[in-house]
Structure 1
């Protein structure tokens, strides 16, 4: 929480736009805005943008959210997957221990528990693929914040994830940004940005915290969805679309380069 005597900073501006600024800090901000016309104009523009976003989304907000899109439903689905993984690991452990007692496990063999652990990049790829399949078919709710409010969207996602989120320009491939949303990813959060081409096909970029060894691009396919995933400096990234590997790879490479802004 900001000290009431500390200078006005970015956190105060964000809180003011969100309507969360304390009375004491609000008084300081009013004094600061009276002295800084440029800052006052910036805050006024952000407030207007936020109000326009609320007005635009109000009809959607009044609609009942489909049960499968509720956060609780998404978390339950992910929990069921983790329970299934846990049961499989437990079964493997029982077989492994039994094998030790009966000589079924050869010394130095490659079938140990560690060999069956799910790599971090595989978890990221699965989370991204599941989220893609959930939202790619949506008409009314494909994204939480649309591309018309890109600045707000990226600022919001960056703040929630604790890292700078950018939306790489894919216009050269015929894809335009639709918008994005915040989703649960284990105990933390993930950002999903969605793109669409002229034929209505959709592509998503998924970003979540993923501590582990850095990796090169890893490819996987689940049903009609192809995914390229990589781990870089504690973050997992995944690009998913209903495209063949050769078509998705150059787009993924462009996104990788574009993530540096």
Structure 2
């Protein structure tokens, strides 16, 4: 039985001939004959190309090309070809960096970036021409939470709130107790918005309350209230897509009014809400 023939190859070609062809060991006449056959046999030509690619990769990995070149040079210069004992054929595999080293390096870079941000924080308004909107250029997390709560709950039609406006007294007492602060719900009737109800939410450092309003066309606004560890009088705007959130802090309570309406109108409502809740919006002007 002849093991040299591969049934997957076309008739007239065998593995031995193709192997010798790839290694450059055939006489010119036989080499030309196989080249002519390969031109007519795409399957065999593809196998030869794969073998050549594999051979090249092995030569690169094992350094065979360099040794062959030096041996050829020795023979052409009259030297005796001998094995280069100082160039063993082996594959160099780099040891991967342990995961804990990569994590440690990332943490170092993160700490360095945080330190740089703290150092440049006071200079940021000058460097950015006033575009740095306070608090490190980012809204406090309660404003982001208010925006997310708006996006999550206002599309709800059957269960937008936990307690409906029909139980307003219970709603206010319940949320006041959970926030450990007497709350009140400002009226937005003059702007065409009626109270839908409210719900309890997790806040930045404790519970938060969300009150939802709706006008006759179905558009909704939300008022988010939560305790804050700091106190200030600044009034800021946070945008995300077509949603806008005016937020402020008063007496260690954070307030955020969110909605997709025009910025000027939302600002006017926010000023009204702040005043109704005991704030001093005149200091924002």
Distance change in 2, residues 1:94/1:184 (3 Å): same
Distance change in 2, residues 1:94/1:238 (3 Å): same
Match of 2:167 among 133, 146, 149: 149
Q: Structure 1: which 5+ runs fail to align?
A: 1-87, 98-104
RMSD between aligned alpha carbons?
3.1
Distance change in 2, residues 1:225/1:96 (3 Å): closer
- The residue aligned with 1:192 is 210
Shift of 1:220: 1.2
Match of 1:122 among 140, 143, 166: 140
- The residue aligned with 1:7 is none
Q: Give the secondary-structure state (helix, strand or coil) at the position aligned to 2:239.
A: strand
Shift of 1:131: 0.6
Q: Tell me if the contact between 1:202 and 1:241 (Cα under 8 Å) persists in the aligned partners.
A: yes
Return the alpha-carbon distance in structure 1 between the equivalents of residues 174 and 202 of structure 2: 15
- The residue aligned with 2:228 is 210
The structure having more radius of gyration, on CA atoms, is: 2
- The residue aligned with 2:238 is 220
Match of 1:235 among 233, 253, 271: 253
Match of 1:139 among 133, 146, 157: 157
Q: Tell me if the contact between 1:120 and 1:212 (Cα under 8 Å) persists in the aligned partners.
A: no
- Are 2:254 and 1:244 equivalent residues in the alignment? no
Q: TM-score, normalised by structure 2?
A: 0.52
Return the alpha-carbon distance in structure 2 between the equivalents of residues 217 and 200 of structure 1: 28
CA-to-aligned-CA distance 1:7-49 (integer Å, 9 cap, x gap) = xxxxxxxxxxxxxxxxxxxxxxxxxxxxxxxxxxxxxxxxxxx
Q: TM-score, normalised by structure 1?
A: 0.56
Q: Tell me if the contact between 1:121 and 1:231 (Cα under 8 Å) persists in the aligned partners.
A: no
Distance change in 2, residues 1:134/1:93 (3 Å): same
Q: Structure 2: which 5+ runs fail to align?
A: 1-105, 125-131, 280-285
Return the alpha-carbon distance in structure 1 between the equivalents of residues 121 and 183 of structure 2: 40
Shift of 1:258: 1.5
After the TM superposition, which parts of structure 1 deviate over 3 Å for at least 4 consecutive aligned residues?
Answer: 88-92, 94-97, 114-121
- The residue aligned with 2:192 is 174
Return the alpha-carbon distance in structure 1 between the equivalents of residues 135 and 250 of structure 2: 20
Return the alpha-carbon distance in structure 1 between the equivalents of residues 110 and 151 of structure 2: 30
Match of 2:120 among 105, 110, 122: 110
Distance change in 2, residues 1:110/1:89 (3 Å): farther
Distance change in 2, residues 1:219/1:111 (3 Å): closer
- The residue aligned with 2:275 is 257
Match of 1:159 among 172, 177, 184: 177
Q: State the number of aligned residues.
A: 164
Distance change in 2, residues 1:92/1:150 (3 Å): same
Q: Tell me if the contact between 2:209 and 2:224 (Cα under 8 Å) persists in the aligned partners.
A: yes
Return the alpha-carbon distance in structure 1 between the equivalents of residues 162 and 121 of structure 2: 44
Q: Give the secondary-structure state (helix, strand or coil) at the position aligned to 1:154.
A: helix
Match of 1:183 among 186, 191, 201: 201
Return the alpha-carbon distance in structure 2 between the equivalents of residues 160 and 240 of structure 1: 22
